[in-house]
Amino acid sequence: MQRAAVLLTLISTSAALRPEWMPGDYSQTVVGAQTFVEDYNSTAEEVFYFSTEANWKYNTNLTVHNSQQQVIAFLEELEFTEAWCQKAKDTFPDSFIETLNPEVQIILSNIKVLGPANLPTSERERYNTILSQMDSIYSTAKVCRSPEECWSLEPELIDIMANSRSYKRLLYAWEGWHNEAGDHLRSLYPEFVELSNKAFRMDGFSDTGAYWRSLYESLTFEQDLENLFIQLEPLYQNLHAFVRRKLYDFYGPKYINLKGPIPAHLLGNMWSQNWNIYNMMIPFPDKTNVDVTDTMVAQGYNATHMFRVAEEFFTSLGLIPMPDKFWDKSMLEKPSDGRDVVSHASAWDFYNRKDFSKLNRCFMDNEGLIDAVQAFDCSSCDFMNAKKIEKLAKQYDKHIDDELLQIHKNC
Ligand SMILES: *[C@@H]1O[C@H](CO)[C@@H](O)[C@H](O)[C@H]1NC(C)=O
Ligand SMILES: *[C@@H]1O[C@H](CO)[C@@H](O)[C@H](O)[C@H]1NC(C)=O
Ligand SMILES: *[C@@H]1O[C@H](CO)[C@@H](O)[C@H](O)[C@H]1NC(C)=O
Ligand SMILES: *[C@@H]1O[C@H](CO)[C@@H](O)[C@H](O)[C@H]1NC(C)=O
């Protein structure tokens, strides 16, 4: 209890934004808008660096002190976002923004999105509570075969989905998890939709979906997706038919209809995202295996070497090399000095154009390569916008919730 009280005191005393990070006054002119955008850019760089650094410190060393520092930094960032948003709303009405050049238009309209922070305090609190409840339902849902034997999503259910080849066991796991998570989320979701739509309508969007689609900055978004789908469709249909036939050969006509859809629980992944069943599908068994894991193990690959090889690939495509700081500060393996760290992989942009991304990777597996892709991707971004603010805010919200939960548990 005492720790929670300390944390809450810190939260309430840390809410003021330091003066050098406050917006100045700007005129409603082209020059005013330009100056605002430039000032926002240079200030956001400092604020985001400050809060990302604090978040990184916490993620790579989970102590109460680091958590408190991280919460303070997050709240200051929220203050920053709201202060500059409010300033933009007060100074630059939409009708004026429409007269500016497209680049400045996009930046200003993104800064002007306040989202859930538009809501009055009580609704905002309710919104945050719903989000954290949904988060917790999703991450704690368990499938119990008996009071003694319960499976969590990680590691048991994910493992069953990937490795079991028993139709019934897979169905039990899939259905059980969807019932557990889904049924409990169902009662909260409509209220989330209502509050979220209300918030984004206050920013001028017709609903939350319109806001989400606006992040793609394309006026022809639906058509773009349709075109991509049309391009992929022939390949997808062939792949689908091939996979269905292989599943039919294994599970038989009782379970697989050669003219129907594939049951979602047979694809090796709870969400059918990765079709994690290659060993049942090998099209040319006599050809060299495309899975290079064994070869990598035989050649003595370690984590650093994997990342070096990934970098060679990306620089060969013409991308710039990772800065030295990436190699110095990234956490590629779980530290052995006894500290607790967040153990899932993530790529970080520190928003200062210097140490763009560090990587937090504790366990080496196939996903390591995907993370490397994300990290390298970050080295090409150079401007922060509402998208990133939102992503960051979500990330932080979650950490605060997790931390509060943890502290409550410790009491
Ligand atoms: C943002 O600021 C950095 C330097 O602080 C500069 O390199 C970059 O070009 C600026 N971006 C924009 C869009 O003004
Ligand atoms: C972890 O954070 C604590 C502060 O809470 C600090 O004293 C300690 O040195 C840090 N450990 C490492 C390995 O950085
Ligand atoms: C829009 O304005 C910005 C800031 O003044 C400038 O850097 C950019 O080149 C302009 N873009 C166009 C398309 O005029
Ligand atoms: C990782 O592998 C590289 C290349 O094989 C080697 O130079 C390096 O010393 C290895 N590092 C560790 C910590 O084993």
CB of 379 within 6 A of ligand 2: the answer is: no
Q: The tokens 């943890």 sit on which residue?
A: 406
Report the pocket of ligand 4 as residue ranges, CB < 6 Å: 302, 304-305
Residue in 57, 60, 61 to alter for ligand 2 test, most ligand atoms within 8 A of Cβ: 61
Please give all residues whose beta carbon lies within 6 A of any atom in ligand 3, as ranges. 34, 101, 103-104
- The answer to whether 116 and 82 have CB atoms below 8 angstroms apart is no
User: 40, 103, 383: which to mutate for ligand 1, most atoms within 8 A of CB?
Assistant: 383
Q: Is the CB of 408 under 6 A from ligand 2?
A: no
Whole-number Å distance between alpha carbons of 309 and 113: 41
Could you tell me the CA-to-CA distances from 87 to 43, 83, 84 in Å, in that order? 14, 6, 5
**Rounded to whole angstroms, how far apart are CA atoms 379 and 386?**
18
Residues in Cβ contact with 190 at an 8 Å cutoff, skipping those fewer than 6 apart = none
Single-letter amino acid code for the residue at 276? N
Report the atom number in ligand 1 closest to the C-alpha of 37. Answer: 14
135-186 pLDDT tens trace: 888 878 999 999 999 999 888 999 999 999 999 999 999 999 999 999 999 9
Output the six-digit token pair for 268: 């090796």
Mean pLDDT value across residues 248-260: 97
CB 390 within 8 A of CB 115: yes
Summarize pLDDT for 343-367 with one digit per residue, the tens.
667 788 888 877 555 554 433 333 3
For range 215-222, the mean pLDDT: 91
Reported confidence tier of residue 58, pLDDT bands at 50, 70, 90? confident
Q: Which two tokens stand for residue 74?
A: 């997050």
| Average pLDDT of the residues of the chain | 82
Whether pTM > 0.75 for this model: the answer is no
Q: Whose CA is nearest to atom 14 of ligand 1?
A: 38
**Beta-bridge partner residues of 331:** 360
Token duo for residue 345:
């992989």
CB neighbour burial string for 271-290, b if at least 16 within 10 angstroms, e if fewer: ebeebbbeebeeeeeeeeee
Tell me, in angstroms, the distance from the centre of ligand 4 to residue 335's CA.
Answer: 16
Which segment of 68-72, 91-95, 236-240, 255-259 scores lowest on mean pLDDT? 68-72
CA of 38 to the centre of ligand 1 (A): 7
Give the mutation target among 55, 339, 340 for probing the ligand 2 site: most ligand atoms within 8 A of CB: 339
Is 340 close to ligand 2, i.e. is its CB under 6 Å away?
Answer: no
339 CA to middle of ligand 4, Å? 23
Atom of ligand 3 nearest to the CA of 37: 4
Helix, strand or coil for residue 143? strand
Q: Is 38 in the pocket of ligand 1 (CB under 6 A)?
A: yes
Atom of ligand 2 nearest to the CA of 64: 5
Query: Is pLDDT at 2 greater than 70 in this prediction?
Result: no
Alpha carbon of residue 36 to chain centroid: 29
Tokens for 59, please give them: 């993620």
Closest atom, ligand 2, to C-alpha of 65: 5
